[in-house]
């Protein structure tokens, strides 16, 4: 679909190397928009953009936006960014990523996935089911789908499956035909003043779903349950392991190779349906819930049981979601994006259930000082299903905040509250040295965090 719209505009993305900005810029380029962008460093996302002939500037400088007529800014960009300051000086229109995303998908039938955790995997699972149909949706995801080797794909139909990020509040502007709310948790409190503010925005998002669409809400989540009391028009379906769920998960099996469950569907005015033995190549209850959300939407829009089961069973996964990266002396090493206490607990619960007899070592790199300060106690309690924690320095992600507490005392809190052995390392070299000296036999080592920990884990084979 080549378009003539905005032909004279040059759209500049500040922070184009972030996964969400990356996907949006690729889709806009594919639609015929003139797109460019800047970021502080080269990364895999930047390489993908260059292959698609998108002009990239490394480093944020005033001159990068000389020819730009519209600015799209990542939620990670601070107000003192020189390009953002210059754009305001030039009185250029400046849009948040979520606002631009809302404009781009305003003419399509959208399945919008939001929530504090599980968005990327749920979006990817939906894309996996749709890939088995003749519907060819546009996909805009917050992670790289292994099947696409990309986070975005421009489809030929008028369907769009997209992840909407709640970090800066702009997700409410994304128009949805169908929406999924996975859960609501204490996250991004640097933007929201309170949990109440966050919940109000989710209510607004759910209420915006049109009468001919539907919201799908997981009622295993306490905060989601509270929301339902404040939604006057009951234009939603519920899912979960809660027996009151309209898409009810039961007969669960969790094994090393796959998880399996049945899905009982009881909707008002419709015949009851049972989808038996749904298999997913993923671990953990969180992924069973994510798969159920995808199956619920697919079933509601008329995709057959057979295709739903095939799409889920043949799911190829998402980068940085419990991906095995190498084996060393019989120990398996994994990479995971978990960077919030809830995510850490869910991943560890899933691994412990499937690998009952294996020792679990978690290499944790806290992400953002603001998050660590806000959830310090919750973090200290989140490693109970691990045997050992290797604690790395905080990845500050550009924040210029003071920690305000002793990091060694935080380490002691983890040991005490999660009842684990704990070791501190300062960099990937110390981590490699520790692994070389201490790790062997049938163990599971998981690198966790949203910062540079993925690179640390992937460079380990060269260092050990």
Question: What proportion of the chain, given as a percentage, has pLDDT over 90?
Answer: 79
Long-range interactions of 45-54: CB distance < 8 A, separation 24+: 45/16, 45/17, 45/18, 45/19, 45/151, 46/16, 46/17, 46/22, 48/22, 48/150, 49/16, 49/22, 49/25, 52/26, 53/29, 54/16, 54/25, 54/26, 54/29
Based on its alpha-carbon atoms, the radius of gyration of the chain, rounded to whole angstroms, reads 22
**Greater confidence, 421 or 232?**
421
Task: Report pLDDT digits (tens) over 380-433.
Answer: 999 999 999 999 999 988 788 888 888 999 999 999 999 999 999 999 999 999
Q: What fold does the segment set 323-463 form as a domain?
A: 3.90.190
On whether the CB atoms of residues 424 and 411 are closer than 8 A, the answer is yes
Q: Write out the residue limits of the CATH 3.40.50.720 domain(s) in the chain.
A: 11-96
Which residues, listed in sequence order, are joined to residue 323 by a DSSP beta bridge? 335
* pLDDT at residue 1 greater than cutoff 60: no
Alpha helices, H only, 261-301:
285-300
What are the counts of helices (DSSP H) followed by strands (DSSP E) for the chain? 15, 21
Q: What is the pLDDT of residue 169?
A: 79
- Select the CATH number that applies to the domain covering 11-96 from these four: 3.30.70.890, 3.90.245.10, 3.40.50.10490, 3.40.50.720: 3.40.50.720
Q: What is the mean pLDDT of residues 240-250?
A: 97
Q: Confirm if 141 and 155 have CB atoms less than 8 A apart.
A: no
Q: Find the mean pLDDT for residues 96-119.
A: 92
CB within 8 Å of 80: residues ≥ 6 apart: none
Chain centroid to CA 115: 9
Q: What is the pLDDT of residue 4?
A: 58
Helices (H), 19-75: 19-30, 44-51
Q: What's the number of CA atoms in the CB half-sphere (13 Å) around residue 154?
A: 14
Kindly state the average pLDDT of the residues 260-273: 95
CB contact set of 428 (below 8 Å; sequence gap of 6+): 455, 456, 459, 460, 463
Question: Distance between CA atoms of 154 and 52, rounded to whole angstroms?
Answer: 13
pLDDT in tens, 306-345: 999 999 999 998 888 899 999 999 999 999 999 999 999 9
| Residue-level pLDDT at 107 | 82
**Residues 105-313, CATH architecture:** 3-Layer(aba) Sandwich (3.40)
Question: And the tokens for 290?
Answer: 């994510």
Residues in CB range of 11: below 8 A, 6 or more apart: 28, 33, 34, 35, 36, 68, 69, 70, 71, 72
Per-residue pLDDT, 444: 96
Q: Are 11 and 103 in contact (CB under 8 A)?
A: no
Percent of the chain surpassing pLDDT 70: 98
> Residue 379: exposed, middle, or buried by beta-carbon count in 10 A (0-12, 13-18, 19+)?
buried
Q: Residue written as tokens 């799908």?
A: 216
- Whole-number pLDDT of residue 170: 81
Q: With the CA atoms of 161, 163, 168 and 173 taken in that order, what torsion angle do they form, in degrees rounded to the nearest 10? A: 20
Residues of the chain with CATH 3.40.1190.10: 105-313
Helix (H, G, I), strand (E, B) or coil at 151: strand
Catalytic residue positions? Answer: 119-120, 163
- Give the pLDDT of residue 5: 60
- Beta strand extents in 187-309 (DSSP E only): 214-218, 236-240, 247-254, 259-265, 273-280
The pLDDT assigned to 346 comes to 93
Q: For residue 19, is pLDDT > 70?
A: yes
| Distance (Å) of CA 451 to CA 18, 42, 347, 367, 448 | 12, 15, 17, 6, 9
Instruction: Check residue 393 and report its DSSP letter.
Output: P
Torsions phi, psi for 429 (to 5 deg): -70, -40
Cα separations in angstroms, 255 against 135, 261, 309, 312, 351 = 32, 11, 18, 16, 9
Burial category of 350 from C-beta neighbours within 10 Å (exposed 0-12, middle 13-18, buried 19 and up): buried
pLDDT at 179 over 60: yes
Contacts of 356 (CB under 8 A, 6+ apart): none
What sections of 382-452 are H helices per DSSP? 407-418, 428-438
pLDDT (tens digit, 9 = 90+) per residue, 131-175?
Answer: 999 999 999 998 888 888 888 999 999 999 999 988 777 889 899
Nearest to 78 by CA among 64, 65, 60, 92: 60
């Amino acid at each position: 679909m080549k378009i003539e719209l905005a032909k004279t505009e040059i759209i500049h993305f500040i922070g184009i190397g972030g996964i969400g900005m990356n996907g949006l810029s690729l889709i806009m380029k594919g639609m015929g928009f003139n797109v460019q962008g800047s970021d502080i460093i080269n990364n895999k996302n930047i390489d993908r953009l260059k292959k698609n002939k998108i002009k990239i500037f490394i480093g944020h400088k005033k001159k990068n936006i000389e020819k730009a007529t519209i600015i799209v800014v990542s939620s990670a960009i601070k107000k003192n960014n020189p390009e953002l300051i210059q754009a305001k000086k030039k009185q250029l229109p400046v849009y948040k990523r979520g606002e631009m995303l809302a404009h781009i998908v305003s003419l399509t039938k959208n399945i919008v996935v939001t929530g504090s955790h599980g968005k990327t995997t749920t979006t990817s699972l939906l894309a996996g089911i749709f890939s088995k149909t003749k519907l060819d949706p546009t996909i805009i995801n917050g992670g790289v789908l292994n099947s696409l080797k990309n986070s975005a794909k421009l489809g030929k139909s008028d369907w769009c499956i997209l992840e909407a990020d709640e970090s800066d509040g702009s997700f409410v502007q994304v128009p949805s035909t169908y929406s999924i709310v996975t859960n609501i948790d204490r996250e991004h409190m640097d933007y929201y003043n309170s949990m109440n503010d966050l919940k109000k925005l989710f209510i607004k998002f759910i209420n915006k779903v049109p009468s001919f669409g539907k919201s799908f809400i997981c009622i295993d989540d306490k905060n989601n349950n509270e929301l339902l009391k404040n939604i006057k028009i009951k234009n939603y379906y519920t899912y979960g392991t809660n027996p009151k769920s309209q898409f009810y998960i039961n007969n669960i099996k969790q094994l090393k190779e796959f998880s399996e469950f049945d899905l009982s569907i009881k909707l008002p005015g419709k015949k009851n349906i049972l989808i038996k033995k749904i298999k997913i190549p993923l671990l953990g209850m969180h992924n069973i819930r994510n798969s159920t959300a995808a199956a619920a939407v697919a079933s509601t829009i008329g995709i057959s049981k057979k295709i739903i089961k095939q799409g889920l069973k043949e799911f190829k996964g998402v980068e940085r979601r419990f991906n095995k990266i190498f084996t060393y002396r019989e120990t398996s090493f994994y990479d995971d994006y978990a960077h919030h206490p809830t995510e850490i607990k869910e991943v560890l619960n899933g691994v412990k259930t499937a690998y009952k007899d294996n020792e679990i070592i978690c290499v944790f790199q806290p992400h953002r000082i603001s998050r660590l300060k806000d959830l310090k106690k919750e973090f200290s309690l989140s490693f109970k299903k691990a045997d050992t924690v290797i604690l790395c320095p905080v990845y500050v992600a550009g924040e210029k905040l003071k920690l305000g507490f002793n990091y060694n005392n935080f380490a002691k809190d983890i040991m005490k509250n999660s009842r684990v052995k704990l070791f501190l390392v300062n960099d990937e070299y110390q981590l490699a040295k520790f692994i070389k000296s201490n790790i062997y036999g049938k163990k599971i080592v998981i690198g966790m965090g949203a910062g540079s920990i993925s690179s640390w884990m992937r460079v380990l084979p060269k260092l050990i």
